[in-house]
Amino acid sequence: MRRRRISILGSTGSIGRQSLEVIEKLADRFEIIALSAGNNTELLNQQIRKFRPKYACANNINEVEGAEHTSLEEICSNKENDIILVAVSGKIGLKPTITAINNGIDIALANKETLVMAGDIVMSLAKAQKANIIPVDSEHCAIHQCIKDASQVDKLIITASGGPFLHKTIDIMKNATVEETLQHPRWNMGKKITVDSATLMNKGLEVIEAHHLFNMDYDKIEVVVHPQSVVHSAIEYIDGSVVAQLGIPSMHIPIQYAITYPARYEGIKSRSFSFCEIARLDFETPNWSKFKALKLAYECGKTGGSMPICLNAANEEAVFSFLDGKIKLFDIIDTACKMVEEHKPVFELSVDDIFEIDNEVRIKTKEKLLRLR
Ligand SMILES: NC(=O)c1ccc[n+]([C@@H]2O[C@H](COP(=O)([O-])OP(=O)(O)OC[C@H]3O[C@@H](n4cnc5c(N)ncnc54)[C@H](OP(=O)(O)O)[C@@H]3O)[C@@H](O)[C@H]2O)c1
């Protein structure tokens, strides 16, 4: 049996490390072509010793040992790959993803920014090049598993855990420390996405991704708060039938689904699912006035063009500032709101335009953030 050849962009991150745990369990089914890190060369070198990729890259490339040095672009141009898992964080994921699609390579997509910044370009390119984009995020992975015939789907229902402040007062949330914000009740993720989960910006960005991945109008994408994170998302068919995907909250399962699709293996499965152990499943409408980020993301998605780019860049800069202890949690969304209000959307964008707008917004956001200190 020929092993599936895979490269992992961002192998030292939360998704990257978990994907290697999945691959370890399926060692006879995968051959790793390349691994990539940002700054964590020490962990990358450990991964190289263990998984023996042919190629590796990192910001400090001279510190990388045991594999041929390469770059993200070269990894994504290498047709030895059957699939590339894009698990880097931030806009750095966009260009390599486009390169891989242009080479007809399938993508297991975790990187959020790719579709938020350039959903139209990426999805139409993937269609033209016949490259599959398999979502890794648990919600989109759930929807991907539920859909049999996309033409008969009437609505997408995306679940949200609600994050650490779901039932906390606005005052508690206003004064939340970085440590409290990073205490996610269900998921163990990178810091940036964990802060976004606390503000529900993450859910808003997921709505934009879902719009592109499943070609669904924003009015037909509903967010429902589900604190247990057992129902990972659902779809409603035109006849009123609802199909949901359930499972224990673990990123291993959607990662494995995405990189083995369309096959399924036991692989990383640690135990069987039991409805009786869960006992209850709760659902509630999001508190739109407390979690303003969600409404903002819907509005930006509906406007389209450069608006989601502005939202993403402003939010990311503000999240970094919050993580550095320089602003309060609510300043993140206030800053993003102001940047969106001031932004005049531009349409028909090239990839270069996208990066230029992203850059401009970041400069202006940083100026605003300085005034908040
Ligand atoms: N974590 C989750 O459960 C989850 C779920 C759904 C979607 N996502 C999305 O998946 C992506 C990754 O999330 P994560 O939580 O795994 O993030 P993370 O833990 O922060 O890891 C990010 C990875 O990207 C690398 N990286 C960052 N900046 C880079 C740069 N400029 N050049 C090269 N590599 C760079 C990091 O390298 P170093 O660490 O070596 O610096 C690391 O390997 C994000 O877009 C996130 O929104 C995550």
Residues 140, 344, 119, CA angle at the centre, nearest 5°?
25
Label residues 130-159 b or e (16+ Cβ within 10 Å = b): ebbbbbbbbbbbbbbbbbeeeeebebbbbb
pLDDT of residue 109: 98
CATH code of domain 304-373? 1.10.1740.10
pLDDT of residue 187: 80
CATH code 3.40.50.720 region(s) in the chain? 4-135
pLDDT of residue 325: 96
pLDDT of residue 33: 98
CATH code 1.10.1740.10 region(s) in the chain? 304-373
Token readout for 81 is: 């790959």
Pairing of strands 83-86, 106-109: parallel
Closest among 86, 52, 85 to 66, alpha carbons compared: 52
Q: In angstroms, what is the span from residue 90 Cα to ligand 1's centroid?
A: 7
pLDDT of residue 50: 98
- Ligand 1 pocket test: pick from 14, 71, 115, 358 the residue with the most ligand atoms within 8 Å of its Cβ: 14
Residues with CB under 6 A from ligand 1: 10, 12-16, 37-40, 59, 87-90, 92, 110-113, 137, 187, 189-190, 193, 251
Token readout for 273 is: 């699912």
Q: For residue range 269-308, what is the model confidence (pLDDT) as tens digits? A: 888 999 999 889 999 999 999 999 999 999 999 999 999 9
pLDDT of residue 25: 97
pLDDT of residue 189: 86
CA separation for the pair 160, 137 (Å, rounded) = 12
For residue 190, the ligand 1 atom closest to its alpha carbon is 15
Query: Which residue numbers in the chain have pLDDT < 70?
Result: none
Strands (E), 148-260: 153-160, 221-225, 231-237, 242-246
For residue 202, the ligand 1 atom closest to its alpha carbon is 47
- Ligand 1 pocket test: pick from 189, 209, 251, 358 the residue with the most ligand atoms within 8 Å of its Cβ: 189
Q: In angstroms, what is the span from residue 137 Cα to ligand 1's centroid?
A: 13
Does pTM top 0.85 for this prediction? yes
Q: In angstroms, what is the span from residue 72 Cα to ligand 1's centroid?
A: 14
The domain made up of 4-135 has a fold known as Rossmann fold (3.40.50)
For residue 111, the ligand 1 atom closest to its alpha carbon is 45
pLDDT of residue 188: 81
Q: In angstroms, what is the span from residue 88 Cα to ligand 1's centroid?
A: 4
pLDDT of residue 184: 83
Phi, psi of 344, deg, nearest 5? -95, 110
Token readout for 24 is: 């370890």
